[in-house]
Chains A and B, each alone.
Chain A
Amino acid sequence: MKIAFTTKGIDWDSIIDARFGRTDFIVLYDEESERLTSVDNRDIEGVAHGAGPQTAQKLFDLSPDVLITGNGPGGNAAEVLQRAHLKIYTGAANMTIKQAYEAYKKGSLSLFE
Protein backbone atom coordinates (compact mmCIF):
# COMPACT_ATOMS: atom_id res chain seq x y z
CA MET A 1 0.00 0.00 0.00
CA LYS A 2 1.09 3.56 -0.60
CA ILE A 3 0.71 5.88 2.38
CA ALA A 4 0.83 9.65 1.97
CA PHE A 5 1.52 12.13 4.77
CA THR A 6 1.22 15.93 4.98
CA THR A 7 4.50 17.01 6.53
CA LYS A 8 6.90 19.77 7.42
CA GLY A 9 9.95 17.81 6.27
CA ILE A 10 11.01 14.79 4.25
CA ASP A 11 12.54 12.36 6.78
CA TRP A 12 11.00 9.79 9.10
CA ASP A 13 11.47 12.12 12.04
CA SER A 14 9.91 15.15 10.36
CA ILE A 15 6.73 16.47 11.93
CA ILE A 16 3.30 15.97 10.41
CA ASP A 17 1.77 19.18 9.06
CA ALA A 18 -1.69 19.66 10.58
CA ARG A 19 -2.97 21.45 7.48
CA PHE A 20 -3.83 19.83 4.20
CA GLY A 21 -4.17 22.57 1.60
CA ARG A 22 -1.12 24.54 2.64
CA THR A 23 1.06 21.66 3.81
CA ASP A 24 4.78 22.16 3.17
CA PHE A 25 5.45 18.68 1.79
CA ILE A 26 3.67 15.52 0.80
CA VAL A 27 5.67 12.44 1.74
CA LEU A 28 4.83 9.09 0.19
CA TYR A 29 5.79 5.76 1.78
CA ASP A 30 5.57 2.68 -0.41
CA GLU A 31 5.13 -0.30 1.93
CA GLU A 32 6.22 -2.78 -0.74
CA SER A 33 9.49 -1.17 -1.74
CA GLU A 34 9.87 0.44 1.70
CA ARG A 35 10.89 3.66 0.00
CA LEU A 36 10.15 7.18 1.13
CA THR A 37 9.67 9.83 -1.56
CA SER A 38 8.41 13.41 -1.32
CA VAL A 39 6.83 16.31 -3.17
CA ASP A 40 7.67 19.88 -2.25
CA ASN A 41 4.41 21.83 -1.89
CA ARG A 42 5.83 25.04 -0.49
CA ASP A 43 5.05 27.09 -3.59
CA ILE A 44 1.41 26.83 -2.49
CA GLU A 45 2.17 29.84 -0.32
CA GLY A 46 1.80 32.05 -3.39
CA VAL A 47 -1.70 30.80 -4.05
CA ALA A 48 -4.44 33.06 -2.76
CA HIS A 49 -7.47 30.98 -3.56
CA GLY A 50 -7.78 27.31 -4.23
CA ALA A 51 -4.83 25.99 -2.27
CA GLY A 52 -6.74 22.90 -1.20
CA PRO A 53 -7.68 21.62 -4.66
CA GLN A 54 -4.17 22.35 -5.98
CA THR A 55 -2.57 20.24 -3.27
CA ALA A 56 -5.21 17.56 -3.72
CA GLN A 57 -4.38 17.45 -7.39
CA LYS A 58 -0.71 16.80 -6.59
CA LEU A 59 -1.74 14.03 -4.24
CA PHE A 60 -4.03 12.55 -6.86
CA ASP A 61 -1.10 12.20 -9.24
CA LEU A 62 0.79 10.12 -6.64
CA SER A 63 -2.06 7.56 -6.37
CA PRO A 64 -1.81 6.83 -2.67
CA ASP A 65 -4.16 4.40 -0.95
CA VAL A 66 -4.07 6.19 2.37
CA LEU A 67 -3.57 9.80 3.48
CA ILE A 68 -2.46 10.62 7.01
CA THR A 69 -2.80 14.21 8.15
CA GLY A 70 -3.61 16.47 11.10
CA ASN A 71 -6.90 18.36 10.88
CA GLY A 72 -8.18 17.05 7.60
CA PRO A 73 -8.89 18.69 4.23
CA GLY A 74 -11.24 21.63 3.79
CA GLY A 75 -14.37 21.48 1.66
CA ASN A 76 -12.92 22.00 -1.80
CA ALA A 77 -9.95 19.73 -1.24
CA ALA A 78 -12.16 17.01 0.23
CA GLU A 79 -14.25 17.05 -2.94
CA VAL A 80 -11.16 16.42 -5.03
CA LEU A 81 -9.89 13.70 -2.73
CA GLN A 82 -13.17 11.83 -2.97
CA ARG A 83 -12.29 11.06 -6.56
CA ALA A 84 -9.01 9.58 -5.50
CA HIS A 85 -10.76 6.80 -3.58
CA LEU A 86 -8.37 6.80 -0.70
CA LYS A 87 -8.80 6.49 3.05
CA ILE A 88 -8.02 9.60 5.06
CA TYR A 89 -6.86 9.46 8.69
CA THR A 90 -6.62 12.48 10.93
CA GLY A 91 -5.26 13.19 14.38
CA ALA A 92 -1.58 12.87 13.53
CA ALA A 93 -0.66 16.51 14.11
CA ASN A 94 2.61 17.04 16.02
CA MET A 95 3.69 13.41 15.56
CA THR A 96 6.73 12.49 13.54
CA ILE A 97 6.08 10.59 10.31
CA LYS A 98 7.36 7.46 12.00
CA GLN A 99 5.03 7.90 14.98
CA ALA A 100 2.10 8.69 12.71
CA TYR A 101 2.73 5.54 10.67
CA GLU A 102 2.86 3.44 13.81
CA ALA A 103 -0.33 5.04 15.13
CA TYR A 104 -2.04 4.26 11.83
CA LYS A 105 -0.92 0.62 11.95
CA LYS A 106 -2.19 0.36 15.51
CA GLY A 107 -5.52 1.85 14.50
CA SER A 108 -5.32 4.80 16.87
CA LEU A 109 -5.92 7.53 14.26
CA SER A 110 -9.44 8.73 13.29
CA LEU A 111 -10.99 7.94 9.95
CA PHE A 112 -12.11 11.11 8.13
CA GLU A 113 -15.51 10.89 6.46
Chain B
Amino acid sequence: MKEIVVISGKGGTGKTSITASFTVLGAPTLVAADCDVDAADMHLLLKPDMAIQEDFYSGEVAVIDPSACIGCGRCAQVCHFNAISRRGRTYEIDSLACEGCGYCSRVCPTRAISNHPEKAGQLFVSTTRVGCTMVHAKLGIGSDNSGKLVAEVKKRAKALTEQQGKELVLVDGSPGIGCPVVSSLSGASFVVLVTEPTVSGLHDLQRVCELIEKFKIPSGCIINKSDINPEMTEKIVTYLDSQHITLLAVLPYDESVSRAMIAEKTIVEYEQESPIKDQLKNAWHRLGDFLKK
Protein backbone atom coordinates (compact mmCIF):
# COMPACT_ATOMS: atom_id res chain seq x y z
CA MET B 1 0.00 0.00 0.00
CA LYS B 2 1.41 3.39 -0.95
CA GLU B 3 0.53 6.82 0.30
CA ILE B 4 0.65 10.11 -1.57
CA VAL B 5 0.28 13.23 0.56
CA VAL B 6 -0.42 16.59 -1.05
CA ILE B 7 0.59 19.61 1.00
CA SER B 8 1.27 23.29 0.56
CA GLY B 9 2.95 25.51 3.13
CA LYS B 10 0.55 28.27 2.37
CA GLY B 11 -3.21 28.07 1.92
CA GLY B 12 -4.94 28.92 -1.31
CA THR B 13 -2.40 27.46 -3.70
CA GLY B 14 -4.81 24.96 -5.23
CA LYS B 15 -3.87 21.92 -3.15
CA THR B 16 -7.42 20.72 -2.67
CA SER B 17 -8.51 21.31 -6.25
CA ILE B 18 -5.49 19.33 -7.43
CA THR B 19 -5.99 16.50 -4.95
CA ALA B 20 -9.64 16.24 -5.95
CA SER B 21 -8.58 16.05 -9.60
CA PHE B 22 -6.15 13.24 -8.78
CA THR B 23 -8.91 11.45 -6.90
CA VAL B 24 -11.11 11.56 -9.98
CA LEU B 25 -8.27 10.34 -12.22
CA GLY B 26 -7.33 7.48 -9.94
CA ALA B 27 -10.70 6.62 -8.38
CA PRO B 28 -10.76 2.84 -8.97
CA THR B 29 -7.33 2.36 -7.38
CA LEU B 30 -7.50 4.43 -4.24
CA VAL B 31 -9.06 5.59 -1.02
CA ALA B 32 -9.07 9.36 -0.48
CA ALA B 33 -8.42 11.05 2.87
CA ASP B 34 -9.14 14.70 3.53
CA CYS B 35 -6.77 15.59 6.35
CA ASP B 36 -7.32 19.31 6.04
CA VAL B 37 -9.64 19.01 9.01
CA ASP B 38 -9.65 22.68 10.00
CA ALA B 39 -11.04 23.79 6.65
CA ALA B 40 -12.11 20.67 4.82
CA ASP B 41 -13.14 21.45 1.26
CA MET B 42 -12.64 18.34 -0.80
CA HIS B 43 -16.18 17.21 -0.13
CA LEU B 44 -17.51 20.13 -2.12
CA LEU B 45 -16.11 18.64 -5.29
CA LEU B 46 -16.52 14.95 -4.57
CA LYS B 47 -19.98 14.89 -2.99
CA PRO B 48 -19.43 12.22 -0.35
CA ASP B 49 -22.53 10.52 1.04
CA MET B 50 -21.42 10.67 4.73
CA ALA B 51 -22.70 7.15 5.24
CA ILE B 52 -20.84 6.81 8.52
CA GLN B 53 -20.60 9.71 10.98
CA GLU B 54 -18.76 9.47 14.25
CA ASP B 55 -18.14 11.92 17.03
CA PHE B 56 -14.52 12.54 17.78
CA TYR B 57 -13.34 13.31 21.28
CA SER B 58 -10.07 14.92 22.21
CA GLY B 59 -9.10 16.65 25.41
CA GLU B 60 -11.37 18.03 28.03
CA VAL B 61 -13.16 21.20 28.93
CA ALA B 62 -13.83 22.38 32.48
CA VAL B 63 -17.26 23.48 33.67
CA ILE B 64 -18.21 25.25 36.92
CA ASP B 65 -21.41 24.30 38.68
CA PRO B 66 -22.73 27.69 39.83
CA SER B 67 -24.76 26.14 42.65
CA ALA B 68 -21.61 24.73 44.22
CA CYS B 69 -19.42 27.75 43.52
CA ILE B 70 -18.66 29.97 46.53
CA GLY B 71 -17.00 32.71 44.48
CA CYS B 72 -13.56 32.36 46.09
CA GLY B 73 -11.82 32.91 42.74
CA ARG B 74 -9.08 30.34 43.28
CA CYS B 75 -9.82 28.90 39.87
CA ALA B 76 -9.37 32.21 38.11
CA GLN B 77 -6.11 32.77 39.94
CA VAL B 78 -4.57 29.55 38.66
CA CYS B 79 -5.89 29.65 35.09
CA HIS B 80 -3.09 30.62 32.73
CA PHE B 81 -5.35 30.85 29.71
CA ASN B 82 -7.64 33.68 30.83
CA ALA B 83 -10.55 31.30 30.55
CA ILE B 84 -12.18 32.03 33.90
CA SER B 85 -13.94 35.22 34.88
CA ARG B 86 -16.31 36.43 37.48
CA ARG B 87 -19.97 36.61 36.67
CA GLY B 88 -22.05 38.09 39.46
CA ARG B 89 -21.41 36.06 42.61
CA THR B 90 -19.82 33.10 40.93
CA TYR B 91 -17.21 32.31 38.31
CA GLU B 92 -17.62 30.90 34.85
CA ILE B 93 -15.39 29.29 32.26
CA ASP B 94 -15.16 30.35 28.62
CA SER B 95 -15.19 26.97 26.91
CA LEU B 96 -13.49 28.32 23.81
CA ALA B 97 -10.53 29.57 25.82
CA CYS B 98 -10.32 26.56 28.15
CA GLU B 99 -7.38 24.33 27.28
CA GLY B 100 -8.53 21.40 29.38
CA CYS B 101 -5.51 21.32 31.69
CA GLY B 102 -7.64 20.45 34.71
CA TYR B 103 -5.73 22.70 37.11
CA CYS B 104 -8.77 24.69 38.22
CA SER B 105 -10.71 21.57 39.12
CA ARG B 106 -7.86 20.45 41.35
CA VAL B 107 -7.85 23.63 43.43
CA CYS B 108 -11.57 24.27 43.80
CA PRO B 109 -12.39 23.96 47.54
CA THR B 110 -15.97 22.89 46.92
CA ARG B 111 -15.35 20.61 43.95
CA ALA B 112 -17.58 22.79 41.85
CA ILE B 113 -15.53 22.21 38.72
CA SER B 114 -15.81 19.10 36.60
CA ASN B 115 -13.94 18.06 33.46
CA HIS B 116 -15.85 16.81 30.46
CA PRO B 117 -14.50 15.07 27.40
CA GLU B 118 -14.60 17.59 24.65
CA LYS B 119 -16.26 16.71 21.43
CA ALA B 120 -13.60 18.01 19.14
CA GLY B 121 -15.17 17.19 15.84
CA GLN B 122 -16.68 14.55 13.62
CA LEU B 123 -15.25 11.86 11.41
CA PHE B 124 -17.02 10.67 8.25
CA VAL B 125 -16.58 7.66 6.01
CA SER B 126 -18.22 8.15 2.62
CA THR B 127 -18.51 6.95 -0.89
CA THR B 128 -17.80 9.76 -3.34
CA ARG B 129 -19.64 10.45 -6.55
CA VAL B 130 -16.72 8.92 -8.47
CA GLY B 131 -17.14 5.63 -6.63
CA CYS B 132 -14.15 5.55 -4.32
CA THR B 133 -14.23 5.78 -0.54
CA MET B 134 -13.30 9.01 1.18
CA VAL B 135 -12.51 9.49 4.85
CA HIS B 136 -12.92 13.06 6.03
CA ALA B 137 -13.57 15.08 9.14
CA LYS B 138 -14.70 18.36 10.54
CA LEU B 139 -12.79 19.86 13.44
CA GLY B 140 -14.93 21.62 16.03
CA ILE B 141 -14.70 25.37 16.57
CA GLY B 142 -11.87 26.42 18.84
CA SER B 143 -10.53 22.91 19.01
CA ASP B 144 -6.94 22.02 19.50
CA ASN B 145 -5.80 20.82 16.10
CA SER B 146 -3.33 18.44 17.64
CA GLY B 147 -2.98 16.08 14.73
CA LYS B 148 -5.00 13.42 16.51
CA LEU B 149 -8.02 13.83 14.25
CA VAL B 150 -5.72 13.78 11.23
CA ALA B 151 -4.13 10.59 12.54
CA GLU B 152 -7.58 9.08 12.97
CA VAL B 153 -8.59 9.96 9.41
CA LYS B 154 -5.40 8.41 8.03
CA LYS B 155 -5.73 5.31 10.16
CA ARG B 156 -9.25 4.73 8.94
CA ALA B 157 -8.30 5.39 5.33
CA LYS B 158 -5.42 2.92 5.51
CA ALA B 159 -7.59 0.25 7.09
CA LEU B 160 -10.19 0.67 4.36
CA THR B 161 -7.54 0.58 1.65
CA GLU B 162 -6.38 -2.77 2.95
CA GLN B 163 -9.91 -4.06 3.33
CA GLN B 164 -10.84 -3.07 -0.20
CA GLY B 165 -7.64 -4.43 -1.68
CA LYS B 166 -6.71 -1.02 -3.09
CA GLU B 167 -3.09 0.06 -3.59
CA LEU B 168 -3.13 3.70 -2.69
CA VAL B 169 -4.18 6.23 -0.08
CA LEU B 170 -4.36 9.77 -1.46
CA VAL B 171 -4.22 12.44 1.22
CA ASP B 172 -5.24 16.09 1.04
CA GLY B 173 -2.87 17.33 3.73
CA SER B 174 -3.11 20.19 6.18
CA PRO B 175 -1.61 23.57 5.34
CA GLY B 176 1.13 25.08 7.47
CA ILE B 177 4.05 23.36 9.16
CA GLY B 178 2.70 22.27 12.54
CA CYS B 179 1.48 19.05 14.07
CA PRO B 180 -1.40 18.41 11.69
CA VAL B 181 1.02 18.51 8.76
CA VAL B 182 3.46 16.19 10.51
CA SER B 183 0.58 13.89 11.23
CA SER B 184 -0.50 14.09 7.54
CA LEU B 185 3.02 13.20 6.44
CA SER B 186 3.71 10.23 8.67
CA GLY B 187 3.94 7.11 6.56
CA ALA B 188 3.91 8.91 3.20
CA SER B 189 5.58 7.21 0.24
CA PHE B 190 5.62 10.42 -1.78
CA VAL B 191 4.87 14.08 -1.05
CA VAL B 192 3.40 16.46 -3.61
CA LEU B 193 4.06 20.11 -2.79
CA VAL B 194 1.73 22.64 -4.33
CA THR B 195 2.99 26.18 -4.49
CA GLU B 196 2.45 29.47 -6.29
CA PRO B 197 5.02 31.94 -7.63
CA THR B 198 4.53 34.64 -5.06
CA VAL B 199 6.91 35.89 -2.40
CA SER B 200 4.78 34.19 0.23
CA GLY B 201 4.47 31.00 -1.83
CA LEU B 202 8.24 30.59 -2.08
CA HIS B 203 8.75 31.58 1.53
CA ASP B 204 6.28 29.02 2.80
CA LEU B 205 7.55 26.38 0.39
CA GLN B 206 10.99 26.74 1.93
CA ARG B 207 9.59 26.36 5.43
CA VAL B 208 7.74 23.22 4.43
CA CYS B 209 10.83 21.78 2.73
CA GLU B 210 12.80 22.25 5.92
CA LEU B 211 10.16 20.17 7.63
CA ILE B 212 9.99 17.34 5.12
CA GLU B 213 13.74 17.06 4.79
CA LYS B 214 13.75 15.45 8.20
CA PHE B 215 11.40 12.72 7.04
CA LYS B 216 13.42 11.90 3.93
CA ILE B 217 10.37 11.24 1.80
CA PRO B 218 10.75 11.63 -1.97
CA SER B 219 8.83 14.63 -3.19
CA GLY B 220 7.64 16.47 -6.24
CA CYS B 221 6.26 19.94 -6.79
CA ILE B 222 3.46 21.52 -8.76
CA ILE B 223 3.74 25.23 -9.40
CA ASN B 224 0.28 26.67 -9.80
CA LYS B 225 -0.68 30.03 -11.37
CA SER B 226 2.86 30.05 -12.75
CA ASP B 227 2.38 32.81 -15.30
CA ILE B 228 1.40 35.55 -12.85
CA ASN B 229 5.11 35.89 -12.10
CA PRO B 230 7.48 34.07 -14.46
CA GLU B 231 10.55 35.35 -12.59
CA MET B 232 9.34 33.92 -9.34
CA THR B 233 8.47 30.67 -11.08
CA GLU B 234 12.09 30.50 -12.25
CA LYS B 235 13.30 31.11 -8.71
CA ILE B 236 11.15 28.28 -7.46
CA VAL B 237 12.36 25.94 -10.19
CA THR B 238 15.95 26.70 -9.23
CA TYR B 239 15.18 26.15 -5.57
CA LEU B 240 13.49 22.81 -6.26
CA ASP B 241 16.49 21.70 -8.25
CA SER B 242 18.82 22.53 -5.38
CA GLN B 243 16.65 20.43 -3.07
CA HIS B 244 16.41 17.48 -5.46
CA ILE B 245 12.66 17.85 -5.67
CA THR B 246 11.11 16.73 -8.95
CA LEU B 247 9.11 19.32 -10.87
CA LEU B 248 5.83 17.55 -11.62
CA ALA B 249 3.92 20.30 -13.38
CA VAL B 250 3.87 24.01 -14.06
CA LEU B 251 0.26 25.14 -14.34
CA PRO B 252 -0.81 28.52 -15.69
CA TYR B 253 -3.36 30.70 -13.93
CA ASP B 254 -6.71 29.44 -15.09
CA GLU B 255 -10.06 30.81 -14.00
CA SER B 256 -11.89 27.82 -15.40
CA VAL B 257 -10.87 26.05 -12.16
CA SER B 258 -13.24 28.36 -10.30
CA ARG B 259 -15.94 27.93 -12.94
CA ALA B 260 -15.53 24.17 -12.70
CA MET B 261 -15.81 24.42 -8.89
CA ILE B 262 -19.09 26.31 -9.22
CA ALA B 263 -20.31 23.58 -11.56
CA GLU B 264 -19.19 21.22 -8.76
CA LYS B 265 -16.62 19.52 -10.93
CA THR B 266 -12.90 19.13 -10.80
CA ILE B 267 -11.00 20.75 -13.63
CA VAL B 268 -10.17 17.39 -15.20
CA GLU B 269 -13.88 16.67 -15.63
CA TYR B 270 -14.91 20.09 -16.82
CA GLU B 271 -16.14 20.17 -20.41
CA GLN B 272 -14.49 23.40 -21.43
CA GLU B 273 -10.96 23.28 -22.70
CA SER B 274 -8.31 24.17 -20.18
CA PRO B 275 -4.53 24.33 -20.42
CA ILE B 276 -4.12 22.53 -17.15
CA LYS B 277 -6.18 19.40 -17.76
CA ASP B 278 -3.47 17.58 -19.67
CA GLN B 279 -0.74 18.75 -17.34
CA LEU B 280 -2.58 17.33 -14.36
CA LYS B 281 -3.19 14.05 -16.16
CA ASN B 282 0.51 13.88 -16.99
CA ALA B 283 1.48 14.64 -13.42
CA TRP B 284 -0.80 11.87 -12.21
CA HIS B 285 0.80 9.37 -14.57
CA ARG B 286 4.26 10.40 -13.46
CA LEU B 287 3.20 9.87 -9.86
CA GLY B 288 2.03 6.39 -10.80
CA ASP B 289 5.46 5.68 -12.28
CA PHE B 290 7.24 6.90 -9.17
CA LEU B 291 5.19 4.64 -6.99
CA LYS B 292 5.93 1.60 -9.07
CA LYS B 293 9.66 1.92 -8.42
Contacts and interface: CB of A to CB of B under 8 A. Distances in A.
A19 B146 CA distance: 18
11 contacts: A18-B187, A22-B151, A46-B57, A48-B58, A48-B59, A48-B144, A48-B146, A48-B148, A49-B146, A49-B148, A71-B187
Interface bracket on B? under 10
B180 to A, nearest CB: 12
Contacts, number: 11
Interface string A44-58: 001011000000000
A105 B92 CA distance: 61
A104 B200 CA distance: 49
Given A48-B59, A48-B144, 8 more contacts: A22-B151, A46-B57, A48-B58, A48-B146, A48-B148, A49-B146, A49-B148, A71-B187
Contacts of A22: 151
Interface string B180-194: 000000010000000
Sorted nearest first, the 4 A-B pairs with minimum C-beta distance are A48-B148, A48-B58, A48-B146, A49-B146
Interface in B28-87: 57-59
A58 B148 CA distance: 21
Interface in B172-228: 187
Contacts of B58: 48
A67 B148 CA distance: 25
A18 B59 CA distance: 26
Nearest to B120: A48
Contacts of A48: 58-59, 144, 146, 148
Interface string B76-114: 000000000000000000000000000000000000000
B147 to A, nearest CB: 8
B61 to A, nearest CB: 13
A18 B151 CA distance: 15
A22 B57 CA distance: 17
Nearest to A18: B187
A18 B144 CA distance: 27
A50 B148 CA distance: 11
Interface in B235-252: none
A44 B188 CA distance: 22
A49 B148 CA distance: 8
